[in-house]
A and B are shown apart, each in its own frame.
Chain A
Amino acid sequence: MNGDYSKFLQTFFEEVTEHLSVLESGLLTLEQNPDDVEVLNRIFRSVHTIKGAGPMFGFTAMSRFAHKVETLLDPLRNRKFSATRQIIDLLLESADCLNMLVVAAKNGTVIDENKTVLDLEARLETCMTVTAPVPGQKPAPSQSAAAPAPPAPVTSARQTYQINWTPGEDLFQRGLNPLKLFEEIGRLGTVTSCVLATSHLPDLADLDPERCYLSWTCTLETDYPREDIESVFEFAASPGELTITALSSSSPVAQPTQEPDPEPAHSVIDEEDDPRLAAVFFGQKPDSLGAILVEQKSVTPAQLAKALDRQETIRAESKEHKAEASMRVDTEKVDKLVNLVGELAITQSMLSALGGHFEIKYLPILQERLLQLERNTQEIQERVMGIRMLPISTVFNRFPRLVRDLSAKVGKNIQLLISGEETELDRSVIESIGDPLTHLLRNACAHGLEPPEERVAAGKPEQGTIRLNAFHEGGKICITVEDDGRGLNRDKILAKAIEQRIITGNDTLSDDQVWALIFRPGFSTAEKLTDVSGRGVGMDVVKRNIEALNGIVSIKTVTGRRTIFTLKLPLTLAIIEGMTIRVGEDTYIVPLLSILESIQPKADMVQNFIGKGEVVNVRGAFYPIVRLYEVFDLQPEHKNPAEAILLILETEGERVVVMVDEIVGQQQVVIKSIEENFRKVDGVAGATILGDGTVGLILDVRGLVKLARQGQEIAV
């Protein structure tokens, strides 16, 4: 359906969300640089768009609030007074509130008389009146508010306008509701008459319910200037559709029509019009349109039934389109892809032409074309992946605000430096790294950086710095969170770990092992609990989230100087590096990230411990052995570990050794779901298509260990 209302709604929300992020980042820039008019204009435009577009979809609360925000922004823009910290705070709070309203509108909840909203609206208004003008400028009356605010003092005298509006036929397809516009007009003054012209209405059978055949003429008595009436139609009417004529006025000069009027105004009013028709369109009376039409004998009941039927189908169809996830893609990316697909089609036709009359002398040509095909497919694969890529700035953008709020909360002066925000990575990864990064930043603010007095005492600048950086490295994406704070304290962590009986005092641990302790659930060295952090949940979440994405977290720290957290993530979740292994006749794939090393053990390295099962001694460390053929019930080639290959795997900080027959090779594999047509299989993370077209199963190391343990229990 081309006129699907819900599709517009979705676009509307996408755009509003974009505008909100423009608003927030703009406000943060403004704080650094209060006189940047360009930023102010940008913010203003965003708020104005939200305000203007809201009523079209019936989100009046949103629009009303945006209007209040705009009223405060306008004098800022006109440099009547400058943006103080208080104003920015208030505006940021308003942005949050606006976001809340948007979310509410999206979920269909009604927020009308919400306390937060009312409270903020009141504060916005007080702010307007209280804020002193900038010295050196003449105090100007704040009448510049662009849109109708009911209590706004406007000087122009009461005037009567005749408004004639003949909207284009695509009015409804553009997602506009004329009723909302007239409600808006009604708020400007008294509507003395409003007539709907239906002369252009076709017969019911020909009527396309998604087209607008109507025009309106209404007379309005108002105190507001003509511009305000025009602004109501700003988004709805294109030039030529709207004529506003001043009828009578207390002021001697009648204002000329501003807009060019290429066609004579549609003042023709169908005399047979039933006033109820207009009523239906304005939603004032519950009579159904159909009933009236039948009564007027304009249509037969049969026609009516048919039309209603069609209406029903259309409604049903439009419902089905709901809740589709959508994404915005750079047009350039799509264009390139279309070109490539064109090339692919050409290569294909060349190949099939060759195949039609193939002789062995054409072999070199065949090889050349196959090579071309390979290049094409490879490039298409890369480009299609690229479509799913988003710049990481979509995540990073929310952090300046977070750090700003946190720095106020923890009483530290913190600056956040972001770089590499244009680095692209897969949507699915983007969506899941927000949380871990938030935890890391909170941690850096609360624990990493010292309080100002401590910093000064240590000879550091009072302002703490957190650097957030993203870059590509070796086919992976690295994100670093670096603070120039006190660094991790080895002794403190060790003491805490001993206290919590994670380690004993006798253990000698390397630095890396000590730092790894902070990722344990419930581990925190913070002396007191704050609402920012200290519960020992955060770092645990970071590690688990990152590992769920097949990524790794590492820590570097220099005591007293800095701590750097590095997250290494795959560019996409759909493709992983895998090691192909073989047991008997079966091929499996092990995610490369979980493989630490592979060894061919000597017979004396493998030992049996009662109660612990089989273990292998690798340079002094003992790892339990999982025989893949036992767990999966396969026919192996080797049952003696000394003849087989042992893979040392790491999962969730635990190391296990998996015994296989042979390592076949390393390759990138595209993960396919088994569950789509089947169900979850224990010990298998997914499947992939191997080079020969058969299915290969990807091992789930965690699940494998679990399976092996169950097997042991049963055996014991």
Chain B
Amino acid sequence: MAMAIAAAAQESGQQQGIGAEGNQFLTFCLGDELYGINILRIKEIKGYTPITKIPNMPSHIKGVLNLRGTIVPIVELRMAIGMPTIDYTAFTVIILVVVRDRTLGLVVDSVSDVVTISQKDIEASPDFGTKVDASFLSGIGKSGDKLVALLNIDQLLTEGYMQEAAAATA
């Protein structure tokens, strides 16, 4: 079972562009936990600006934003992975990521750092002990003495974003 998970993690890891010699991840905080997204998937980071609501959307879809003329949907990442929301602060930022050629923004508590994690320091995500559903993680990486939960944004945004959004209108 563990092997199967490891294999799956590795597979999805490869989709995210994790090479053998390690990769860079952008880390950010949700509460006191550290999360990471492969840096190749990040388009840019911008401060929180007011968002236009879209009617009849699931609660984790905050709305849309004007990103230099293109309309970009914004997802409240806390809600998308099942964490309680908090008030926005001066540190609240929007991370713009690219999923399947579409750009979308993730609201997170604050950005932390860019870290390099080699493949051997990435372990399959345990299926318990985290606050989020393990299927959204591609693994747990060790960076120094910190643990970084590596998000599988493809998985996250298919399950938590498109389908739920579609179900809401169906």
Taking CB atoms, residues of chain A closer than 8 Å to B63 are 695
A674 and B64 contact, Cβ closer than 8 Å, known pairs A633-B55, A684-B55: yes
**Highest count of chain B CB atoms <10 Å: which of A632, A633, A682, A694:** A694
B contact residues around A682 at 8 Å (CB): 56, 169
CB of B73 within 8 A of CB of A695, answer no
Quick check: is A677 within 8 A (CB to CB) of the other chain? Answer: yes
Interface residue A683 (Cβ < 8 Å from any Cβ of B): yes
- Of residues 607 through 637 on chain A, the ones whose CB sits less than 8 Å from some CB of chain B are 631-634
Contact between B55 and A694, CB atoms less than 8 A apart: no
A349 to chain B, nearest CB (A): 21
Measured in the bound complex, the distance between the Cα atoms of B50 and A684 in whole Å is 20
- When distances are taken between beta carbons in the complex, the residues of chain A under 8 Å from B53 are 586
The docked-state distance in angstroms from the alpha carbon of A695 to that of B66 is 6
Q: Which of A632, A674, A683 contacts B71 (CB 8 A)?
A: A674
Is B40 at the interface (CB under 8 A from chain A)?
A: no
Is the C-beta of B104 less than 8 angstroms from some C-beta in chain A? yes
Of chain A, the residue at the smallest CB distance from B54 is A681
Are A633 and B56 closer than 8 Å at their CB atoms?
yes
Does A487 lie at the interface of the complex (its beta carbon under 8 Å from any beta carbon of B)? no
Selected contact of A695 from candidates B57, B65, B166, CB within 8 Å: B65
Q: Does B66 contact A693, Cβ atoms closer than 8 Å?
A: yes
In the assembled complex, the Cα of A239 lies from the Cα of B17 at a distance in Å of 57
* Cβ-based interface call for A158 (8 A): no
Q: Is the CB of B54 within 8 A of A697?
A: yes
Is B72's beta carbon under 8 Å from chain A? Answer: yes
Cβ contact within 8 Å between B169 and A672: no
Encoded as 1 (CB less than 8 Å from any B CB) or 0, chain A from 282 to 322 comes to 00000000000000000000000000000000000000000
- Contact assessment for A631 and B102 in the assembled complex, using a CB-CB cutoff below 8 Å: no
Q: Is B85 an interface residue (CB 8 A)?
A: no
Cβ A679 vs Cβ B165 within 8 A: yes
Contacts of B65 in A (CB 8 A): 695
Give per-residue flags for B127-169: 1 if the beta carbon is below 8 A from chain A beta carbons, else 0. Answer: 0000000000000000000000000000000000010011001
Q: Counting CB contacts under 8 A, is A491 at the interface?
A: no
B52 and A677: CB pair below 8 A?
no
Closest residue to B104 on the A side, CB-wise? A677
Residues in A whose Cβ lies below 8 Å from that of B103: 677
For A634, give its contact among B55, B64, B66, B102 (CB under 8 Å). Answer: B55
For the complex, give the distance between the alpha carbons of A633 and B52 in Å: 14
- Looking at the assembled complex, report how far the CB atom of A626 sits from the nearest CB atom of chain B, in whole angstroms: 13
On whether A677 and B162 interact (CB within 8 A), knowing A682-B56, A684-B54, A695-B65, the answer reads no
Residues of A within 8 A of B162 (CB): 679
Residue interface bits B103-125, CB-to-A below 8 A is 1, else 0 = 11000000000000000000000
A429–B102 Cα distance when bound, in Å, is 28
A697 and B102 alpha carbons, distance in the complex (Å): 19
Is A676 among interface residues, defined by CB-CB distance under 8 A?
yes
User: For B66, what are the chain A residues with a Cβ–Cβ distance below 8 Å?
Assistant: 689, 693-695
Asked if B104 and A678 sit within 8 Å, CB to CB, the answer is yes
B69 within 8 Å of A (CB atoms): yes
**Cβ B72 vs Cβ A631 within 8 A:** no
Cα distance, A533 to B94, chains bound together (Å): 58
How far does the alpha carbon of A676 sit from the alpha carbon of B72 in the complex, in Å? Answer: 9
In the assembled complex, A167 has its CB within 8 A of some CB on chain B = no
Per-residue CB proximity of A586-603 to B under 8 Å, as 1/0?
110000000000000000
Q: 14 A-B residue contacts at CB 8 Å?
A: A632-B56, A677-B70, A677-B71, A677-B72, A677-B73, A684-B54, A684-B55, A687-B64, A689-B66, A689-B69, A694-B52, A695-B63, A695-B71, A697-B52
- Knowing that A677-B72, A695-B52 are A-B contacts, what are 18 other residue pairs whose CB atoms are under 8 Å apart, sorted by A's residue number? A586-B53, A631-B55, A634-B55, A673-B71, A674-B73, A676-B70, A677-B104, A678-B102, A678-B104, A681-B57, A683-B56, A684-B55, A695-B51, A695-B63, A695-B65, A695-B71, A697-B52, A697-B64
Which 9 pairs from chain A and chain B are nearest by CB? Answer: A632-B55, A695-B52, A678-B73, A677-B102, A687-B71, A695-B64, A689-B66, A695-B66, A672-B71
